[in-house]
Amino acid sequence: MFSAELEALRASGNLRRLPETVHDGKYSVVKGRRMLNLSSNDYLGLASDTTMPLMKDFLRETGLACGTDVPEDFLLGSTSSRLLTGTFDVHSRLEQTLCRLSGRQAALVFGSGYHMNVGILPAVTDSSSVILADKLVHASIIDGIRLSSARSVRFRHQDMDQLESLVGKYSTECSRIIVVTESIFSMDGDLADLKRLVEIKRKHPQVMLYVDEAHAVGVRGDAGMGLAQELGVMQDIDFLCGTFGKAVASVGAYVLCDSIVREYLVNRMRPLIFSTALPPLNVLWTLRVMENLATMGSMRRALSDNAARIREFIRSRGVVCPSGSHIIPVMAGDSHRAAAMAEEMQRQGFYLLPIRPPTVPEGTSRLRISLTAAITPQETDALISVLDRLLP
């Protein structure tokens, strides 16, 4: 059975293999080729730059800490869940910092974005609830919806009129309606209409908003706290979620919420209750980055400028480009064509991988250019030159 399914994936151009990659700063070496990495989520370039002062200071500090008396913040393992002995002072300090940066009452930190998305929705819904989710939300959110006992409907991507119609329909039937979206969508790079979503919420008291800012934290907003900060709606979103594993160059995730919601999640969210907490050393690094995020405005502007140039070029060639961010799809349609385009980009020195079903819908295979602030204008010029030869 397994062999037949793998063969079917191979025939359709959708078979995947784990790449063997050596990382060299913002470059990757695969099969002897040294290529500019355009497939990373290291949006600010923090994870790949070990020479930056923030990283050097942190490495120096933790290196000095190694010895017989290791401070609690530098421990490499937490060894238990947060409800046992896994909550350290640094976890609480990070949550306090998140509250300060966002102006929200409470924050709760999790082991990963996947844990966050599979855990919150099942915890806060029951059979009298309905979840209305954008058609293109991340797989982890879909899994969270499946684990919940709520009814669920997936509305057409970014179709606010359909969403409002669904809210009107279920507002007389359900005690709680949770509308779920990403703020920057991971595959199309387009931006959710958060202001319209807030307007819909205000019209209907049963509605709560769940927004995943995984691809916006660090790169949008004056202080880097995401698209909700940029649009001035941080206080209007009930579950404002973010991750540390992308632009923040660490690991873990968080939700910003009201205090009573935080207490409820501590008591009801299974991935939090039954998972070992993040190691203190990782949390300390996350805290350092978050404390300095507001100072990285020049990096955000450089990323935005490079992304705008590439989006404008792709559109100038008559190719559909839904992106409004640093995530830029180059549509291929057919999976075989996407794989061939990726191979050509790699030959030209750019590490891009084909994105194929089930990650994206059938017929929408693509390259996904994932820009970072470490990419120079000269490298952007070289990328545009290659795209110029590749696009029709």
Token code pair at residue 4: 């037949």
Q: Which residue has the tokens 């300095």?
A: 292
Contact residues for 337 (Cβ-Cβ < 8 A; gap 6+): 365
Omega before 358 within 30 of 0, i.e. cis: yes
Q: Which of 26, 91, 115, 138 is flagged as catalytic?
A: 138
Contact residues for 118 (Cβ-Cβ < 8 A; gap 6+): 140, 143, 144, 147, 271
Strand partners, 383: none
Q: Which residue has the tokens 């009129």?
A: 161
d(CA 129, CA 121): 10
212 in active site: yes
Q: Which of 37, 102, 117, 186 is flagged as catalytic?
A: 186
To the nearest 10 degrees (0 to 180), the angle between helices 280-292 and 53-65 is: 150
143 in active site: no
Question: Closest Cα partner for 171 from 128, 210, 135, 140?
Answer: 128
199 in active site: no
d(CA 17, CA 15): 7
Looking at residue 362, what DSSP letter applies? T
Q: Which of 49, 164, 182, 190 is flagged as catalytic?
A: 182
Q: Which of 41, 102, 140, 282 is flagged as catalytic?
A: 41
Token code pair at residue 95: 């949550």
Cβ proximity of 210 and 124 under 8 Å: no
Mind giving me the DSSP string for 152-176? EEEEPTT-HHHHHHHHHHHTTT-SE
182 in active site: yes
Q: Which of 26, 91, 115, 215 is flagged as catalytic?
A: 215
The 3-state DSSP class for residue 134 equals strand
215 in active site: yes
57 in active site: no
The 3-state DSSP class for residue 254 equals strand
Alpha-carbon torsion angle 250, 251, 257, 259, nearest 10: -100
Burial-class residue 172 by CB neighbours within 10 Å (0-12, 13-18, 19+): exposed
Q: Which of 73, 95, 212, 230 is flagged as catalytic?
A: 212
Residues assigned a catalytic role: 41, 138, 182, 186, 212, 215, 246
